[in-house]
């Protein structure tokens, strides 16, 4: 049985075509949820979301997350885990991978506000303590149009290839990269997922030691240019 929600829920959206639908669906589950929309830079959006929160831990839900009906927002952390980043798993609708990419997150509020916004990957660099949760929280429905599909695949594969994700395991990372780059062409907008994945992987390999170059993957206007140049 799902209990009472104890932590604030923040919904992060930018220009996703299905954002309003996802937001309204989330409000049915969490009527007191707050929305951060149109903030340039994923780090900045999360900082603002945390500042609008009043609880020690904060739920973050992405605009492309189709939340599972049985996901429990009443989950609470023990006092010794208040510095820990919690990430639930998500299912990828294009290639079938199930891991933390796009999953619902529970962040310490103060660490989110104080984060180093220059890091290419926010989730795994926010805290020294990280907990991967086993439950599948959502389907990450990123394949809604050509650009958003390309953008999502490019960003994720760049991070995997450059190994900026703290604590990642090489064998697991290579499997995920290979799957992103080879599986799912027959799915809706699948060819754009494969295209973005392959270009993102190469960009990650080429710039693995250049933090400034890697940070560009958080600039959606830059990603739009990459997309336009490849089509």
DSSP per-residue codes, 13-59 = ESS-TTHHHHHHHHHHH-TT-EEEES-SSHHHHHHHHHHT--SSEEE
% residues pLDDT > 90 (the chain) = 84
Separation of alpha carbons 85 and 87, rounded Å: 7
Residue 65: CB atoms within 10 Å? 26
Could you tell me which CATH number the domain at 8-140 has?
A: 3.90.550.10
pLDDT on residue 231: 81
% residues pLDDT > 70 (the chain) = 97
pLDDT on residue 1: 44
Q: Do the strands 34-37 and 65-67 form a parallel or antiparallel pair, or are they unpaired?
A: unpaired
Contacts of 58 (CB under 8 A, 6+ apart): 7, 8, 9, 10, 49, 50, 106, 107, 108, 109, 112
pLDDT in tens, 10-62: 999 998 999 999 999 999 999 999 999 999 989 999 999 999 999 999 999 99
Separation of alpha carbons 117 and 42, rounded Å: 9
Apex 19 CA angle, 58 and 8, nearest 5:
15
Whether the pLDDT of residue 77 is over 80: the answer is yes
Q: Which of 5-14, 158-167, 198-207, 216-225 bottoms out in mean pLDDT, i.e. has the lowest?
A: 158-167
Q: What is the mean pLDDT of the chain?
A: 93
Instruction: Calculate mean pLDDT across residues 114-131.
Output: 82
pLDDT on residue 165: 66
Question: For residues 164 and 129, which has the higher predicted lDDT (pLDDT)?
Answer: 129
Whether the pLDDT of residue 203 is over 90: the answer is yes
pLDDT on residue 122: 75
CA distances 78 to 27, 57, 81, 82, 110, Å, are 26, 11, 5, 7, 17
Domain range list for the chain: 8-140, 146-229
pTM of the model: 0.92
pLDDT in tens, 162-182: 987 656 678 999 999 999 999
């Amino acid at each position: 049985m799902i209990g009472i929600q104890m932590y604030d829920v923040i919904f992060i959206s930018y220009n996703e075509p299905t954002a309003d639908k996802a937001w309204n669906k989330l409000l049915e589950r969490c009527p007191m949820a707050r929305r951060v929309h149109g903030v340039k830079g994923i780090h900045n959006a999360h900082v603002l979301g945390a500042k609008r929160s009043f609880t020690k831990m904060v739920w973050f839900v992405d605009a492309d997350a189709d939340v599972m009906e049985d996901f429990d927002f009443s989950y609470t952390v023990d006092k010794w885990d208040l510095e820990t980043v919690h990430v639930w798993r998500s299912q990828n609708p294009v290639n079938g991978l199930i891991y933390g990419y796009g999953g619902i997150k529970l962040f310490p509020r103060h660490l989110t506000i104080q984060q180093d916004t220059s890091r290419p990957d926010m989730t795994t660099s926010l805290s020294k303590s990280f907990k991967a949760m086993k439950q599948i929280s959502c389907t990450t429905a990123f394949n809604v149009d050509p650009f958003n599909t390309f953008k999502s695949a490019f960003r994720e594969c760049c991070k995997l290839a450059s190994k900026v994700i703290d604590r990642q395991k090489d064998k697991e990372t290579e499997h995920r990269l290979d799957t992103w780059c080879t599986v799912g062409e027959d799915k809706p907008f699948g060819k754009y997922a494969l295209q973005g994945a392959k270009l993102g992987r190469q960009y990650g390999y080429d710039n693995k030691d250049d933090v400034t170059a890697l940070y560009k993957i958080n600039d959606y206007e830059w990603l739009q240019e990459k997309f336009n140049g490849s089509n």
